[in-house]
């Protein structure tokens, strides 16, 4: 085999054996069992342990990946292409996840799809004001998309300060968005248990908010990596992935805003069959 | 020393063979080892799922309740059987097992694109299996059927933790498959040897590409559905509760939007295997290569727009039903392309009836039978009578449990020499095939008759009138079970005392790259990327 090693001609990165996959799987098991115990008894610490273990796995695993990215000769250009393809595929799978929740929304709100519910919004539901916080949040998230694009261009032009500043602004805008979202939840006139409207509303916007959080953390990591001198104008797959993710989250919000907050909040009584 | 090798020295991946001991398997980043792990997991699962089905047939052997007093237990058996076979036998064997082993070998890549992610795909599958077994053991078990329809699966009718375990089992297994799909697609798109264009990839690679795309698009929808069911059960949402403005039918939409592509996820890899086996043992290239490739793509695409043929009895208007009848029947066209191309490949070939080939021909026959009953069921009017009867059971066992499983067996006998370096005993293999073929047909063919006579599925007891065919069915089950045991015997015997296999035991018909590396395939293959560019004519 040793002679093979020296005569290796491919440029792929074949990772070393690693303990993290099995650690991550056990974490998932703990999280699942802990979650079920929580749902049936209210004892939450098993679930919390699972979450902590899962996050630990992600930290150590991604740390390995980042080290490899910074090691010359491992993430060769073809390997970078693979990383980009895989991240786009991951986003596609996320799109399909949201597809299910949008379907839930339309199944209840479009009279032709539904044989059970009556009017939309259902009687007794006091909807949120489209043009208050939801619209403000739309502006915030759209601006964050713009600031991120500025950051990306700065990185390509090797203007590191600008890159770092605009990435930071993007992250801050993301957290402001989340703050407003939490505030809006706390003042909403309906709660999760109030039927199909809150069911679709909270799960669709809640999963979106969770993705904003993930994206913001992802960008925060990029910010600190950038401060430590990571990323080059022609080699920054990690940042690119974070940017794609952020734009994806942006687009999901646009769909949410237009359909759930705007179209879905005006009475559709005249559409009843 | 070349530049590439010099650069490589900075890296820390070592190419000095397999790490020793348990770490080799548990920490593995080697596609062959992970493929082997998947195959072992599939074999364990098929034994578990097989014992469940054995118990079902034992109970159904004659009318009245024989062994099972707790009827919920019967429901649990049926549910666990379905889940285990679909998610933990067929998928791991065809996709995780063969896919991992042979995608890199066939496209000339040293490994999968993301070897660590490959490993977590496998271990998450094990976690999923553990959760599923737990679901059968706690709180009376999950007796919802593999389709998990509410209201039966809601907190009123399954108040314990069993269904939550089943939901999370599928969540975890689904995450495993999505990661696997991303890995497969990236590998196939990015790591083919120079010269191997899409239109020159082996058909097995095409099959895996289509399958992985189906997984990527279908499984997240299931994840969404499962999440809604979980919050309905535990946090008071009402997606599927009519009393809260939700709709139980909506679950069926989501489930089958995933579920129909899922059935193709299980059969398309088998299509790939069969193409290779048929071509190898007919000593001819596959007839209509491009047609075969695009037929799989077409089947995958149409598979997403036919889901409601599982729901013909929920009360759709006639236009909706007409659409789903039509769309479903259209699938018969690319399916026919495949069948006839296999036949045309055999036509005029010098066919060698080795065990893999017998299984491939068995596959074609069984798949045709199941396809014909599928088209029968696709008629919305006919399906009103047949829905939820044993006719449906017969249909999907023909296409799935026996055609897809024959695909697995065909591929297994075909590639076993490559994987372990030893030849199985051909005589025993043939006996095993005939025993299996006879057994499964005795088992499932009569179920068409009980179904047409109206016998409902998922019921442990039945009127005297159905006794005859049920008895025959159970006898078939015992024969198939014996055939499965013989299979395991062959595996063990080959591993212990099989003759050494040459690099290519099948002769000139076997043309793909995996036959050019030694048997067993060494720990690292394709360290030098093969050149697949067309050679200029001399
Ligand atoms: C020509 C192609 C096919 C057609 C037209 C077709 C049609 C149908 C229809 C209409 C049903 C619903 C029957 C009912 O519940 O009343 C059905 C059920 C089913 N089919 Fe197929 N099918 C085809 C191929 C396949 C294949 C290739 C597989 C799997 C490998 C498969 C697996 C299943 C399964 C698992 C069910 C039952 C699901 C359940 O209710 O538990 N089918 N098929
Ligand atoms: Cu179907």
Tens of pLDDT, residues A206-230: 999 999 999 999 999 999 999 988 8
Question: What's this model's pTM, rounded to 2 decimal places?
Answer: 0.92
> pLDDT at residue B538 above 80?
no
In the block, tokens 């799987």 appear at: A25
pLDDT at position B244: 86
Count other Cβ atoms within 10 Å, centred on residue B198: 12
pLDDT at position B97: 94
B176 catalytic per annotation = yes
Does B308 contact ligand 1 (Cβ within 6 A)? no
Does B399 contact ligand 1 (Cβ within 6 A)? yes
CB contacts, 8 Å: B117 with chain A: 21
pLDDT at position A69: 83
State pLDDT tens for residues B399-443: 988 899 999 999 999 999 999 888 999 899 999 999 999 999 999
Which range has the top average pLDDT, A11-25, B9-23, B49-63?
B49-63
Task: Tell me the residues of chain A between 13 and 52 that have a Cβ less than 8 Å away from chain B.
Answer: 13-22, 24-26, 28-29, 32-33, 35-36, 39-40
CA distances from A166 to A158, B32, B334, B401 (A): 13, 45, 52, 56
Q: Are B109 and A10 an interchain contact pair (Cβ–Cβ within 8 Å)?
A: yes
B32 catalytic per annotation = no
State pLDDT tens for residues B172-224: 999 999 999 999 999 999 998 888 889 999 999 999 999 999 999 999 999 99
Q: Pick A50 or B349 by higher pLDDT.
A: A50
> pLDDT at residue B70 above 90?
no
Average pLDDT over residues B333-343: 93
B473 catalytic per annotation = no
Residue B184 distance to chain A (closest CA, Å): 9
pLDDT at position B9: 39
Average pLDDT over residues A79-107: 94
pLDDT-derived band at A6, boundaries 50, 70, 90: very low
Average pLDDT over residues B288-317: 92
Average pLDDT over residues B285-307: 93
In the block, tokens 């890899």 appear at: B269
Which of B325, B395, B451, B456 has most ligand 1 atoms within 8 Å of CB, for mutation? B395
Q: Are A25 and B219 an interchain contact pair (Cβ–Cβ within 8 Å)?
A: no
- Pick the residue from chain B with its C-alpha nearest to A107: B250
Is the bond leading into B240 cis (omega within 30 degrees of zero)?
no
pLDDT-derived band at B508, boundaries 50, 70, 90: confident
pLDDT at position B348: 84
Q: Pick A128 or B37 by higher pLDDT.
A: B37
CA of B451 to the centre of ligand 1 (A): 15
B165 in contact with chain A, both atoms CB, cutoff 8 A:
yes
CA distance B351 to B506: 12
CA distance B418 to B210: 25
CA distances from B333 to A156, A182, B199, B336, B339 (A): 50, 52, 21, 5, 10
CB contacts, 8 Å: B217 with chain A: 92-93, 96
Average pLDDT over residues B259-283: 93
Can you point out the beta strands (E) in A2-142?
none
Average pLDDT over residues B468-484: 93
CB B123 within 8 A of CB B97: no
> pLDDT at residue A165 above 90?
yes
CA of B396 to the centre of ligand 1 (A): 6
CA distance B67 to B71: 10
Q: What is the separation, in whole angstroms, between the first and last Cα of chain B?
A: 33
Task: Tell me the residues of chain A between 102 and 161 that have a Cβ less than 8 Å away from chain B.
Answer: 103-104, 107-108, 114-118, 122
Does B371 contact ligand 1 (Cβ within 6 A)? yes
CA of B408 to the centre of ligand 1 (A): 19
B395 catalytic per annotation = no
Q: Least CB-CB distance to A9: which of B4, B17, B116?
A: B4
For residue B499, what are the β-bridge partners? B423
* ipTM of the complex as predicted: 0.92
Q: Pick A2 or B112 by higher pLDDT.
A: B112
> pLDDT at residue A104 above 80?
yes
pLDDT at position A241: 94
- Which residue, B484, B493, B504, is CA-closest to B443? B484
Would you state the torsion angle of the CA atoms of residues B398, B312, B79, B486, taken in this order, to the nearest 10 degrees?
A: 0
CA distance B235 to B525: 51
Q: Are A16 and B13 an interchain contact pair (Cβ–Cβ within 8 Å)?
A: yes
Task: Tell me the residues of chain B between 299 and 358 that have a Cβ less than 8 Å away from chain A.
Answer: 315
Q: How many helices (H) and strands (E) does chain A have?
A: 8, 0
Would you state the torsion angle of the CA atoms of residues B198, B199, B200, B206, taken in this order, to the nearest 10 degrees?
A: 60
CB B59 within 8 A of CB B65: yes
Average pLDDT over residues B341-355: 89
Would you state the torsion angle of the CA atoms of residues B232, B236, B241, B247, taken in this order, to the nearest 10 degrees?
A: -70
Average pLDDT over residues B80-106: 94
> pLDDT at residue A268 above 80?
no
State pLDDT tens for residues B116-144: 999 999 999 999 999 999 998 888 888 89
**pLDDT more than 70, % of chain A:** 93
pLDDT at position B537: 61
pLDDT at position B315: 85
- Which residue, B318, B308, B242, is CA-closest to A116? B242
pLDDT-derived band at A62, boundaries 50, 70, 90: very high
CA of B453 to the centre of ligand 2 (A): 22
pLDDT-derived band at B16, boundaries 50, 70, 90: low
State pLDDT tens for residues A175-199: 999 999 999 999 888 888 888 899 9
> pLDDT at residue A1 above 60?
no
Please state the atom number of ligand 1 nearest to the C-alpha of residue B263: 29
Does B94 contact ligand 1 (Cβ within 6 A)? no
Q: How buried is residue B1: exposed, middle or buried, by Cβ count under 10 Å (0-12/13-18/19+)? A: exposed
Which residue owns the Cα nearest ligand 1 atom 12? B310
> pLDDT at residue B7 above 50?
no
> pLDDT at residue A272 above 50?
no
pLDDT-derived band at A144, boundaries 50, 70, 90: very high
Q: Least CB-CB distance to A14: which of B4, B29, B216?
A: B29
Cα A111 to its chain centre, rounded Å, is 31
- Which residue, A222, A137, A216, is CA-closest to A175? A216
> pLDDT at residue A136 above 70?
yes
Average pLDDT over residues B341-363: 91
Q: Are B527 and A5 an interchain contact pair (Cβ–Cβ within 8 Å)?
A: yes
Does B396 contact ligand 1 (Cβ within 6 A)? yes
Q: What's chain A's average pLDDT?
A: 88
B497 catalytic per annotation = no
Which tokens in the block code for residue B486? 């013989």
Average pLDDT over residues A75-88: 90
pLDDT-derived band at B163, boundaries 50, 70, 90: very high
pLDDT at position A270: 42
CA distances from A51 to A45, A48, B177, B209 (A): 10, 5, 21, 33
pLDDT at position B99: 94
CA distances from A39 to A35, B130, B139, B230 (A): 6, 19, 14, 10
Task: Tell me the residues of chain B between 173 and 232 that have a Cβ less than 8 Å away from chain A.
Answer: 175, 178, 181-183, 185-187, 189-191, 216-221, 223-225, 227-228, 231-232
Which residue owns the Cα nearest ligand 1 atom 10? B378
pLDDT at position B484: 93
Q: Are B8 and A197 an interchain contact pair (Cβ–Cβ within 8 Å)?
A: no
Average pLDDT over residues B97-118: 92
B482 in contact with chain A, both atoms CB, cutoff 8 A:
no
CA angle centred on A133, ends A132 and A134, rounded to 5°: 95
Which of B85, B207, B211, B263 has most ligand 1 atoms within 8 Å of CB, for mutation? B263
Average pLDDT over residues B63-83: 90
Which tokens in the block code for residue B90? 């067929």
């Amino acid at each position: 085999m040793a002679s093979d090693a020296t005569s290796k001609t491919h440029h792929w990165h074949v990772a070393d054996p690693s303990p993290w996959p099995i650690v991550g799987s056990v974490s998932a098991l703990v999280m699942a069992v802990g979650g079920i115990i929580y749902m049936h008894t209210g004892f939450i610490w098993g679930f919390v342990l699972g979450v902590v273990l899962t996050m630990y796995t992600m930290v150590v695993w991604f740390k390995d990946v980042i080290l490899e990215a910074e090691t010359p000769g491992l993430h060769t250009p073809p390997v970078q292409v693979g990383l980009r393809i895989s991240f786009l595929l991951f986003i596609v799978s996320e799109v399909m996840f949201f597809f299910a929740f949008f379907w839930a929304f339309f199944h209840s709100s479009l009279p032709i799809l539904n044989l059970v519910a009556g009017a939309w919004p259902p009687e007794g539901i006091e909807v949120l004001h489209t043009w208050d916080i939801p619209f403000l949040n739309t502006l915030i998230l759209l601006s964050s998309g713009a600031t991120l694009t500025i950051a990306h261009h700065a990185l390509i032009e090797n203007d590191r300060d600008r890159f770092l500043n605009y990435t930071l602004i993007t992250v801050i805008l993301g957290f402001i968005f989340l703050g407003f979202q939490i505030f809006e939840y706390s003042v909403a006139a309906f709660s999760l248990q109030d039927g199909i409207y809150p069911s679709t509303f909270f799960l669709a916007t809640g999963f979106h908010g969770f993705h904003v959080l993930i994206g913001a953390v992802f960008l925060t990591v990029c910010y600190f990596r950038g401060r430590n001198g990571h990323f080059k104008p022609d080699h920054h797959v990690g940042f690119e992935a974070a940017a794609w993710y952020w734009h994806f989250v942006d687009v999901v919000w646009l769909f949410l805003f237009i359909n759930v907050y705007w179209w879905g909040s005006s009475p559709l009584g005249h559409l009843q069959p | 020393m070349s530049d590439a090798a010099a650069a490589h020295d900075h890296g820390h991946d070592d190419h000095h063979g397999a790490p020793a001991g348990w770490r080799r398997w548990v920490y593995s980043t080697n596609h062959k080892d992970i493929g082997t792990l998947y195959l072992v997991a599939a074999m364990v699962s098929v034994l578990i799922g097989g014992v469940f089905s054995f118990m079902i047939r034992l109970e159904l052997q004659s009318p009245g309740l024989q062994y099972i007093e707790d009827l919920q237990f019967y429901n649990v058996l049926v549910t666990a059987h379905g889940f285990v076979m679909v998610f933990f036998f067929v998928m791991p064997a065809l996709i995780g097992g063969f896919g991992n082993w042979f995608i890199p070998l066939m496209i000339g890549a040293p490994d999968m694109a993301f070897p660590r992610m490959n490993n977590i795909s496998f271990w998450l599958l094990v976690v999923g299996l553990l959760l599923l077994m737990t679901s059968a053991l706690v709180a009376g078990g999950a007796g919802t059927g593999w389709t998990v329809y509410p209201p039966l699966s809601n907190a009123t009718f399954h108040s314990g933790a069993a269904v939550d375990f089943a939901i999370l089992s599928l969540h975890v297994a689904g995450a495993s498959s999505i990661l696997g799909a991303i890995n497969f697609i990236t590998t196939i798109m990015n790591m083919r040897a120079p010269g191997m264009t899409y239109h020159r990839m082996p058909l097995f690679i095409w099959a895996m590409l289509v399958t992985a795309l189906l997984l990527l698009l279908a499984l997240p929808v299931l994840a969404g559905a499962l999440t809604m069911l979980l919050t309905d059960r535990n946090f008071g949402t009402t997606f599927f509760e009519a009393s809260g403005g939700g709709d139980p039918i909506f679950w069926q939409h989501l489930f089958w939007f995933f579920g129909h592509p899922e059935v193709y996820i299980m059969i398309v890899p088998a299509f790939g295997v069969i193409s290779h086996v048929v071509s190898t043992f007919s000593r001819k290239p596959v007839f209509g290569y491009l047609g075969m490739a695009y037929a799989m793509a077409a089947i995958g695409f149409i598979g997403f727009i036919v889901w409601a043929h599982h729901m013909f009895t929920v009360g759709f208007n006639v236009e909706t039903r007409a659409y789903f009848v039509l769309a479903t029947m259209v699938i018969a066209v690319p399916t026919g392309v495949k069948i006839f191309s296999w036949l045309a490949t055999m036509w005029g070939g010098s066919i060698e009836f080795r065990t893999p080939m017998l299984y491939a021909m068995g596959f074609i026959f069984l798949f045709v039978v199941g396809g014909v009953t599928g088209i029968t069921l696709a008629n919305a009017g006919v399906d009103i009578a047949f829905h939820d009867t044993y006719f449906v059971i017969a249909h999907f066992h023909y296409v799935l449990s026996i055609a897809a499983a024959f695909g697995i067996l065909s591929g297994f006998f075909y590639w076993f020499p490559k994987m372990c370096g030893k030849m199985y005993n051909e005589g025993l293999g043939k006996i095993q095939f005939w025993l299996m073929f006879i057994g499964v047909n005795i088992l499932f063919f009569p179920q068409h008759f009980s179904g047409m006579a109206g016998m409902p599925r998922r019921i442990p007891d039945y009127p005297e009138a159905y006794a005859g065919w049920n008895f025959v069915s159970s006898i078939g089950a015992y024969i198939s079970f014996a055939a499965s045991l013989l299979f395991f015997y062959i595996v063990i015997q080959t591993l212990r005392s099989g003759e050494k296999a040459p690099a290519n035991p099948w002769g000139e018909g076997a043309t793909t790259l995996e036959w050019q590396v030694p048997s067993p395939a060494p720990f690292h293959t394709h360290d030098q990327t093969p050149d697949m560019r067309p050679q200029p004519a001399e």
